[in-house]
């Protein structure tokens, strides 16, 4: 019943890993009957998902499957036509501090006049609330997060001087300083080199080891079994959702991608 993660070679797992909670407990994210439409054109159709606490979940599906929209609906950034989302049993707007969001790297202007440290400190703005300015405490937290993603040497740099992989790590550091319980990441592996990809996945495993729940929009089917322990197969409708070992099957993938998968990893 309980799912064991595939990878056991990570040193972080020396710490006791909280066992994935049984569905009976309050799920980290509960999506029920969620439909999102753009002008009567459904982008997500009647989605039901329960994400248990402490899992690394990949959301996969073809382009236009609604992966980003699902994430934005969970964050209250798009208005659903029907259905609802609960974060640890409560509406999102009551749980803002418990959710960290890593948007797609391309969603912001990297020529914006600001420094790496400053962008990471933005992760604390939510906890600060209106009017209060970031101070020494926020600065220290941001520096620690930069250390975690090995970018402390870049703290004072203008953000336009970073490579794509470094930009992605800055975004991760910005989410880390939020010290959230759930992390939603939109394609963190998009266009990063192999070194950064390793660094990111180690970070995700570390988060899981600390009992955090991590939901990642992911593109590379090959790495799903290696990186994740839960997976959601999405194509406007929910095709399958559950532990990778159970639902990441050839049959489900072909239903998700319309029989066009060539990327099914050999397992």
**What is the sign, positive or negative, of the torsion defined by CA atoms of 221, 222, 225, 229?**
negative
Please report how close the Cβ of residue 216 comes to another protein at its closest, in angstroms. 17
Cβ neighbour number for residue 1 with a 10 Å cutoff: 6
Nearer to another protein, 138 or 229 (CB): 138
CA distance 89 to 183: 16
Least Å from the CB of residue 124 to another protein: 10
In terms of Cα–Cα distance, which of 72, 69, 46, 67 is closest to 57?
67
Cα separation of 187 and 57, whole Å?
A: 12
Distance, in Å, from the CA atom of 216 to the CA atom of 201, rounded to the nearest integer, reads 11
Q: Which is nearer to another protein, 76 or 191 (CB)?
A: 76
142: helix, coil or strand?
helix
From the CB of 78, what's the least distance to another protein, in Å?
A: 10
Cβ proximity to another protein: between 10 and 115 the closer is 115
The residue (of 130 and 266) whose beta carbon lies closer to another protein is 130
The residues binding another protein (CB under 8 A) are 72, 75-77, 93, 96, 99, 101, 103, 107-109, 112-115, 118-119, 122, 125-126, 128, 130-134, 158, 160
Q: Which of residues 15 and 161 has its CB atom nearest to another protein in the complex?
A: 161
Name the nearest CA neighbour of 161 among 100, 93, 227, 114.
Answer: 114
CB of residue 133 vs another protein: minimum separation in angstroms? 6
Cβ proximity to another protein: between 9 and 93 the closer is 93
Query: Shortest gap between Cβ of 89 and another protein (angstroms)?
Result: 19
What single string gives the DSSP state of each residue in 188-243? Answer: TTTT--HHHHHHHHHHHHHHHHTT-EEEEE---GGGHHHH-SEEEEEESEEEEEEE
Residue 72 CB, shortest distance to another protein, in Å, is: 8
């Amino acid at each position: 019943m309980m799912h064991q993660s595939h990878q056991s070679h990570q040193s972080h797992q020396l710490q006791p890993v909280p066992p994935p909670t049984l569905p009976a407990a309050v799920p980290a994210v509960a999506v029920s009957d969620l439909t999102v439409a753009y002008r009567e054109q459904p982008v997500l159709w009647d989605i039901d998902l329960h994400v248990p606490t402490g899992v690394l979940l990949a959301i996969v599906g073809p382009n236009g499957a609604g992966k980003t929209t699902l994430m934005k609906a969970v964050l209250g950034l798009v208005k659903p036509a029907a259905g609802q989302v609960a974060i640890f049993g409560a509406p999102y707007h009551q749980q803002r501090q418990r959710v960290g969001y890593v948007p797609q790297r391309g969603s912001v202007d990297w020529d914006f006049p600001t420094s790496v440290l400053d962008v990471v400190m933005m992760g604390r703005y939510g906890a600060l609330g209106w009017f209060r300015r970031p101070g020494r405490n926020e600065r220290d937290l941001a520096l620690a997060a930069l250390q975690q993603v090995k970018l402390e040497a870049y703290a004072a740099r203008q953000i336009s001087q970073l490579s794509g992989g470094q930009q992605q790590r800055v975004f991760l550091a910005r989410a880390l300083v939020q010290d959230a319980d759930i992390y939603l990441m939109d394609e963190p592996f998009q266009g990063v080199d192999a070194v950064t990809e390793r660094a990111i996945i180690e970070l995700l495993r570390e988060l899981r080891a600390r009992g955090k729940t991590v939901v990642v929009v992911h593109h590379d089917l090959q790495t799903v079994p290696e990186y994740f322990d839960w997976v959601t197969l999405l194509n406007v409708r929910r095709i399958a959702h559950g532990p990778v070992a159970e639902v990441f099957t050839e049959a489900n993938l072909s239903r998700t991608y319309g029989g066009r998968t060539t990327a099914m990893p050999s397992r």
